[in-house]
Structure 1
Amino acid sequence: MQTNTLVVRRAVPADASDISGLWLRSFAAALPTVTRPHSEEQVHAWIRDIVLPTQETWVAIAGETVVGMMVIEGGDVDQLYLDPDHRGRGIGARLIELAKRRRPAGLSLWTFQINGPARRFYERQGFVPVEKTDGRGNEENEPDVRYCWHPEPGAVAIPAQAGEQDPAAR
């Protein structure tokens, strides 16, 4: 699959079940040793009732399937999850490029220290680790790391990709 066959668009309420299923599969695959503090039902309700109505949520869709999701809240990439079967295909990079276009002054994000693949991915995308914690500040009680990205002086804006749609911009 090529990433140019993806459609990246703002999530709509009808995406809630697909997004929460993706989130649960991705969390389980990427973080098998991390205790998930909420039940599947609670995750579904959180996505449906809080994330989608109140946060800038994007999905990457291949064919009819949601294969990636990203939430931008303020200057943070608050959530970025990919379907485990679609990792390594440039989908995460497409979503991060979108976040950089949406927040050109800079971004930050948190990930767990144990998540080596995510840390390497964010560093390849230009994020720099700026803070580590012992995990007392997150629900999972898992040591984490905060990353920041700031554009280089004189950087040119990243152009939109084919297939990106923001219904809110219409």
Structure 2
Amino acid sequence: MDLDDRHAQAPFTLRPAVEADAEAAADVWLRSYDAALPGVRRAHSDDEVRGWFRYVLVPGGDTWVAADGTGALAGVLVLDEAGIDQLYLAPERRGRGLGDLFVAKAKELRPGGLELWTFQVNTPAHRFYVRHGFTEAERTDGSRNEELEPDVRFVWKP
């Protein structure tokens, strides 16, 4: 695969998550977290994350998934009242425009503005959000998150 093929936008379909998506969405989250944040302790086991998707995020949240042409899930976006609560892409799907599609969807659904938190060590995420018009608003020592990892709050205002 040459560089142009790798960065070509694959055909993804964004849609609200349904009950049948919970397991695959949790799997995307787990694989993405482990690949992007290898030095950050996860506060919950794999089974707890799967239950969180099955019983909380998919049925009760504003949860979106991206499916490729085969129907396989490639990413997950969870919105809360303030903005982006979760945005995770399958590691092999990064760099193909999928994150851009999710941020565009989040801006469409929350046109008054968005905020999100990401860990300070996740500098690729910082660059991604800044590229999409977010600005850094706050840094903390991590004492308010379950991972106890220093984090950053980003905001986007239209």
Give the TM-score taking structure 2 as reference length: 0.93
Q: Deviations over 1:110-152 (max 9, x none)?
A: 000000111100000100000000000000000000000001x
Matched, 1:10 2:13: no
**Given the alignment, which residue of 76, 81, 92 partners 1:74?**
81
CA RMSD of aligned residues (A): 1.0
**Given the alignment, which residue of 106, 113, 131 partners 1:124?**
131
* Whole-angstrom distance in 2 between the partners of 1:84 and 1:5: 17
Written as runs of structure 1 = structure 2, the 5 A alignment for 1:82-93 is 82-93=89-100
Larger RCO (CA within 8 A; separation ≥ 6): 1
Q: Once the two structures are aligned, what percentage of the paired residues are identical? A: 48
* Whole-angstrom distance in 1 between the partners of 2:38 and 2:10: 31
* Whole-angstrom distance in 2 between the partners of 1:10 and 1:4: 19
**Given the alignment, which residue of 24, 28, 32 partners 2:38?**
32
Written as runs of structure 1 = structure 2, the 5 A alignment for 1:8-157 is 8-62=14-68, 63-151=70-158
By how many angstroms is 1:4 displaced? 5.8
Secondary structure of 1:3's aligned partner: coil
Give yes or no for contact 2:78–2:87 (8 Å, CA) kept in 1: yes
* Whole-angstrom distance in 2 between the partners of 1:54 and 1:147: 24
Runs of 4+ in 1 over 4 A off after TM superposition: none
* Whole-angstrom distance in 2 between the partners of 1:104 and 1:4: 26
